[in-house]
Amino acid sequence: MKRVAAVDLGASSGRVMAGTVGASALRVEEVRRFPNGGVQAGPALYWDVLGLYRETLAGIREAGPLDGVGIDSWAVDYGLLDERGALLGNPVHYRDPRTDGITVPVPDRELYDVTGLQQLPFNTLYQLVAEGDRLDAAATMLLIPDLLNYWLTGSLGAERTNASTTQLYDVRARTWATSLAVRAGIPPRLLPPLRDPGTVVGEAREPAGLPVIAVGSHDTASAVVAVPASGPDFAYISSGTWSLAGLELPAPELSDAALAANFTNEGGVDGTIRFLRNVMGLWVLSETLRTWSTSDLPGLLRAAAASPGLAAVVDIDAPEFLPPGDMPSRISAACEATGQRPPSSRGALVRCILDSLALAYRRTLRAAAAITGRTFDVVHIVGGGARNELLCRLTADACGVPVLAGPVEAAALGNVLVQARALGEDLPDLASMRALVRETQEVRHYEPSGAGDWDAAEARLALCR
């Protein structure tokens, strides 16, 4: 039996989970949870990375005797270090508007052919271009998990699954795209040595001697490890603040159709490719609750379930839903702008959000299948969204295939599994890891009910766009 700590950092909260892995055993328990989120200071929105490190250390200590520790987090954001290894400033939040209007002198087709990444304004490439002269003082760029690993061990490096989200990584050669970086004005010296998931980064300074292991440090990469699939024909949705919906491929899909549909090819554990698209996710719902100053999500979901389905739908990925703010007003405005009657109650508005999210899942997964020529006969929803029964039922109806929901703690479980293998557990491949997840974790099954005219809703939304 191996006992490890999985540090899982999300955009709204972080936690340290203690995980135990052995023959027919896989358990995780929360040791410490702490808030996370943007900190507005002057004109910029930052992450409190020092607070995250403090909480990480506290959680590792509270977890007790451990065989290892691994860190995963959201993607694209980073810290800059000077030649002494000192942090040059708090990492800027990807929702900060500094990348608005930023361009790079590389055609989109060439960018995609090298990196395989969906064009998003907050990709690391654009954030670094937005730094301007600040890059002159920087010696190294470290993504958030790599930065915390560096502070734990003193070892500089970049884990591949997260490096693949930067739009500075050659997805076929599995190296940094240094010539692309030069053309964009980014010094190649900023790009640290690459590591595979499962590499021992080094020994922690505190607690002394604890092995620190590079896991699938992009939280979605860890979550996909723990998708309890029993065969190859599955789709997945890692559902949280963001939803990442797609297929697992053996090699990148870099066709014109994939570029036109804005799909991304991110590295996965064991050399796989996560062919997916970012969907706005439960961010819109959480911001709605914040605007209403309520935490009664169960009551709102009951009201949403009782509201007419598909009465109004919006493009949940529209740019107006990206920044923080008054989501209910934005949704109403989007409905009015597209000739639809805005939701007249809170329950109806939550139903609009969830119907629109399920419709985005359907659109994304069907496009992924058409582009790759693959099929899927089940959709696995992992992460926090697996708890949302109404969303899971709507997704089954929208996609027309069964939804298997769970595990909720997929990112932590995938983190723990990669650590356990690095420490000697007999988990030779993803199939064996997923078999252990199926054997030990709760998964809920939702069959399509046939309710709702999703084709008509999709056509209506297409006309609105």
In terms of C-beta density within 10 A (0-12 exposed, 13-18 middle, 19 or more buried), how is residue 110 classed? exposed
Chain centroid to Cα 343, Å, comes to 29
All residue ranges of the chain with pLDDT < 70 are 464-465
Q: Which is catalytic among the residues 219, 317, 355, 397?
A: 219
DSSP secondary structure string for all residues of 63-113: T-S-SEEEEEE-SS-EEEE-TTS-B-SPPBPTTSGGGTT---SS-HHHHHH
- Residue 290: how many CB atoms within 10 A of its CB? 14
Helix ranges (DSSP H) in 143-296: 144-153, 160-163, 178-183, 219-225, 256-260, 283-292
The length of the chain is: 465
Please choose, from the candidates 132, 122, 13, the residue with its C-alpha nearest in 3D space to the C-alpha of residue 77. Answer: 122
Please choose, from the candidates 322, 408, 421, the residue with its C-alpha nearest in 3D space to the C-alpha of residue 95. Answer: 322
Which residues does 89 contact at the CB level (< 8 Å), separation at least 6? 79, 80, 134
For residues 129-142, one letter each, b for 16 or more C-beta atoms within 10 angstroms of the residue's C-beta and e for the rest, the string is bbbeeebeebbbbb
- Residue 260: how many CB atoms within 10 A of its CB? 11
Matching CATH topology for 2-219 and 227-408+428-465? yes
d(CA 442, CA 275): 26
Cα–Cα distance list, 195 to 5, 164, 388 (Å): 20, 12, 35
Residue listed under structure tokens 């650590």: 419
Domain ranges of the chain: 2-219, 227-408+428-465
First to last CA, the chain: 54
Domain 227-408+428-465 class in CATH: alpha beta
DSSP secondary structure letter of residue 322: S
Which residues does 260 contact at the CB level (< 8 Å), separation at least 6? none
Q: Are 301 and 332 in contact (CB under 8 A)?
A: no
The pTM of the full predicted model, rounded to 2 decimals, is: 0.93
Tokens of 314: 């919006």
* Residue 136 known to be catalytic: no
d(CA 217, CA 163): 9
DSSP secondary structure letter of residue 43: T
For residues 16-47, one letter each, b for 16 or more C-beta atoms within 10 angstroms of the residue's C-beta and e for the rest, the string is bbbbbbeeeebbbeebbebebebeeeeeebbb
pLDDT (0 to 100) of residue 465: 62
In terms of C-beta density within 10 A (0-12 exposed, 13-18 middle, 19 or more buried), how is residue 264 classed? buried
pLDDT (0 to 100) of residue 340: 94
pLDDT (0 to 100) of residue 170: 98
pLDDT (0 to 100) of residue 268: 98
Q: Are 28 and 446 in contact (CB under 8 A)?
A: no
pLDDT tens readout for residues 194-213: 999 999 999 999 889 999 99
pLDDT tens readout for residues 384-397: 999 999 999 999 99
Which architecture does CATH list for 2-219?
Answer: 2-Layer Sandwich (3.30)
User: Strands 158-159 and 194-195: what pairing?
Assistant: parallel
Which residues does 349 contact at the CB level (< 8 Å), separation at least 6? 288, 328, 331, 332, 343
- Residue 126: how many CB atoms within 10 A of its CB? 22
Residue listed under structure tokens 């190649």: 188
